[in-house]
Amino acid sequence: YIDFAAGIAVLNTGHRHPDLVAAVEQQLQQFTHTAYQIVPYESYVTLAEKINALAPVSGQAKTAFFTTGAEAVENAVKIARAHTGRPGVIAFSGGFHGRTYMTMALTGKVAPYKIGFGPFPGSVYHVPYPSDLHGISTQDSLDAIERLFKSDIEAKQVAAIIFEPVQGEGGFNVAPKELVAAIRRLCDEHGIVMIADEVQSGFARTG
């Protein structure tokens, strides 16, 4: 079989790459499981530092590892809320962020993920994602955010804006550079955390 889906869009090295298999076997000779927050171990720190060195950020980078994309997104929201002391999160229509309750609330698509599972956590707001197919421009999306600030939640109560740079479930929509730059400016202006959910598109999966 040829797995064109790469598992669920996460198998960058394919199935059973010999180097990966060898690394797993080597690790099993040391220990099979431990929680870093209980017993820190060298390989965790080494990998985190390598990723920190590659991270395209201007300040000090920090890395934490999680088992699933939903867990990573939930923790990103927790960090944003704790850092800002604010409740609100703005997400985009068509976005997919996971199947846990918080990430279902963030997901901007009802079927098949949300049917029969509500109510969902509050303080989550959705705005349209740019799409040529649906006639939604970058300016439409930005105008929707400004309307949110005026009618639903003031900017100083928003902890984070989360988006997928490349939507998968939403129809393979690529965020225009102008949108990403504008979100960055909005976040800087209002002290909001910007979360780029690249669970399916990160680590060079888009080339």
pLDDT of residue 97: 96
Q: pTM of the entire structure?
A: 0.91
Domain boundaries, the chain: 15-65, 67-207
Kindly state the average pLDDT of the residues 181-197. Answer: 98
Q: Determine the topology of domain 67-207 in CATH.
A: Aspartate Aminotransferase; domain 2 (3.40.640)
pLDDT in tens, 144-156: 999 999 999 999 9
- pLDDT of 114-139, one tens digit each? 999 999 999 999 999 999 999 999 99
Whether 43 contacts 49, CB under 8 Å: no
Task: List C-alpha distances in Å: 73 to 106, 156, 161, 164.
Answer: 10, 22, 12, 11
In angstroms, the CA 26 to CA 171 distance is 40
**End-to-end CA distance of the chain, in Å?**
23
Q: Above 80 in pLDDT, residue 81?
A: yes
pLDDT of residue 167: 93
pLDDT score at 207: 65
pLDDT digits (tens, 9 = 90+) for 53-66: 999 888 899 999 99
